[in-house]
Structure 1
């Protein structure tokens, strides 16, 4: 007899390694709390995720946006409205069978039901609606939601978010947005990726590709983002050129630079959830030298966290690259585009070390980095002081999920 079954959506093993960190943190923490749990991932990239799946108790089921929005949602609605077809639907649809047999659906979308991201609203709804129609409790793992000023987003949020069993808010700003909407099913937490643990194999795995003696000096990690590039370039900037110039300035100061993508899809030049093509363009503008390492491959979320943890300072534009640097207590400068960055840094009293894409200029980036460099010891002290509490807030959601599962 197998243990409880848990279905997960909104995360992945391939592509965005923040999604992988959340998924693997859930598997790690729930295996520690439940007896022989079985997991199903409703995957946007089923072939890539299956190829990278190291977990014997994790089943990968195809659920790309079209399959999810049309097929899975239609079958879930039929399952609800046509009881005489339920047996047939369960037999023919692995996704519906997983949902029906699951004790909970974990929605691990990092940011959902948010003004300005209305083009993703249908996907946000489609991710949880099948579970609502099959009667499976929905647990939204720590994520950013809101604001809710846009009438379309506000209406959808008021319709669907109260139907969710539990929503874990990822910071103060999100929690206040949720309270303003009148939601009562909310719990204040921290990003699930803070719970990710290294397994001790990372140094050997990374060392097969990178000379780890590189980190004996003063190393600055730089993690670009194609999302930020689009926003900066749309405003008339030159993201690639400006970031390349910044890296050369850092090297001119005698520091080493690690250029690392935190979102990579192997075997494709498509840029959705894939910063590798962008990083290759940046690297092409840099002079070669033993003070520069470019991670030109896909690593696991744990290997990336290990590498980031070896840095002295970090400049992040990908959200979960920031989470990994904070989790490894590395002083970090963040260039972001949403409240989701600032509210996490607030937990460490470090919100002043984030700025928006609208301030991204060579001069401003250089000045803020110089300030971080000068204050790195004070920043490190705050990271060390607050990290245990933040990790405890992250782990709390694993306790809530386990309690929900055990309660049936």
Structure 2
């Protein structure tokens, strides 16, 4: 039989961390369930459809306003007025997908957390249609909390207990969720750790990137983030300028630098989910040379992971660029903005290699990078030791989802 799964909160275009989570689900659930049809409720339907390589993945428009108003109202009507259900299923692709699906996978990377109240409505709107159509909600590994803000605490206590399963992405998130009194928790690891390369990446990347760059000395990968830029600059800092100064210093040590935008939206200068304009701005301020490589185009999550794996050391501000570097066992220094970075590094006993954007300065960044270089062998050893366990924790959620789907689709369930 064909199983049906709907996904929200991830994408193929834009943020390649979201793409890695989506593609991990398609890969792992296909392996476990066989014949599966997926529906992606997409914030960027045109871009996602253009980049969709999966014949069993349908892309359905669900931009924030459409999701928050139209889809939610139709799902509420579906719940309250049963005679209208056949009509709603015919007219709404989103509601039709939810009603035929065994589960909604919410792949929002960080939800229901203090300091991100402007995203709270979207966090609720993402799962409310499924709750109204009685479709079980499975929140894939993500960061939640803390819950000190009264508005976030109320929303979290109201809606999070209604989801079937919430997979926490690390110890800190798990403790926040337990402190809220949630009972539907599973301690896991980010779904993107399950992403596998298929062997086509070197040839695909070589069409656009001279891979000979990685054959002539130590390479340091750097993944900037426009999210971090906004936080640093809002406090009077100069994020791009600090990275420019750091990159020139790295080059002065004889190392080569590759600038990796891990979130890219092709054909737009808008900066939401798009680090490419920032990377271009940084590159324009750098001295030209054959020791500098700037990735100028959108690549798939697997291609980016392969490229990151070719680096000797990595400096990440994008969360899933960090996940890819850890998955490829590349010693990594992280400049972050929430607990979500440290709790993942903690799984590898490497939490000391993350620091907050409030500490960022060229001198401190150089100091921490030099310390990473001095401990490179130890870091590599810890990555090798802990990666199998982390990947197993990541894959556990695929097993849980598959069990949920099989149970929902069994004759006895019907």
Name the TM-score class by shorter chain.
over 0.9
2:269 is the alignment partner of 1:264: no
C-alpha displacement of 1:35: 2.3
- Structure 2 gaps of 5+ residues are 409-414
Shift in Å, 1:248:
0.5
Partner of 1:84: 83
Q: SS at the partner of 1:8?
A: strand
CA distance in 1, matches of 2:138, 2:98: 13
1:246-265 residue pairs with structure 2 within 5 A? 246-265=246-265
User: Equivalences for 1:278-317 in 2 at 5 Å?
Assistant: 278-317=278-317
Could you tell me the TM-score, scaled by structure 1's length? 0.99
Q: 2 CA distance for matches of 1:126 and 1:287?
A: 46
Equivalent residue runs for 1:157-176 within 5 Å = 157-176=156-175
The aligned residue for residue 72 of structure 2 is: 73
Q: Deviations over 1:378-399 (max 9, x none)?
A: 1000000000000000000000
Does residue 1:403 correspond to 2:383, yes or no? no
Q: Please give the per-residue CA displacement for 1:26-45, whole angstroms capped at 9, x wherever unaligned.
A: 00000000020000000000
User: Which consecutive segments of 4 or more residues in structure 1 shift more than 6 A?
Assistant: none
- Secondary structure at the aligned position of 2:372 is classed as helix
> Aligned runs of 1:196-207 on 2, under 5 Å?
196-207=195-206
Task: Give me the TM-score of the superposition, normalised by structure 2.
Answer: 0.98
2:241 corresponding residue in structure 1: 241
Shift of 1:189: 0.1
Aligned to 2:6: 7
Q: CA RMSD in A?
A: 0.5
Instruction: Supply the distance in 2 between the matched residues of 1:245 and 1:226 (Cα, whole angstroms).
Output: 17
| Unmatched tracts of structure 1, length 5 or more | none
Indicate the SS of the match to 1:33: helix
Task: Report what 2:103 is aligned to.
Answer: 104
Partner of 2:373: 373
* Partner SS for 2:268: coil
Show the counterpart of 1:228.
228
- Match status 1:345 vs 2:345: yes
SS of 1:168's equivalent in the other structure is: strand
| Pairs aligned (count) | 407
Shift of 1:142: 0.0
C-alpha displacement at 1:316, in angstroms?
0.1
Q: CA deviation at 1:188?
A: 0.1
Partner of 2:33: helix, strand, or coil?
coil
Q: Could you tell me how far apart the structure 2 residues matched to 1:181 and 1:374 are?
A: 41
**1:81-118, CA deviations, whole angstroms, 9 ceiling, x for partnerless residues?**
00000000000000000000000000000000000000
Q: Residues of 2 paired with 1:152 and 1:210: CA distance?
A: 47
Cα distance in structure 1, aligned partners of 2:58 and 2:208: 30
Separation in 2, partners of 1:156, 1:246: 41
1:328 and 1:398 map into 2 onto residues whose CA distance is 21
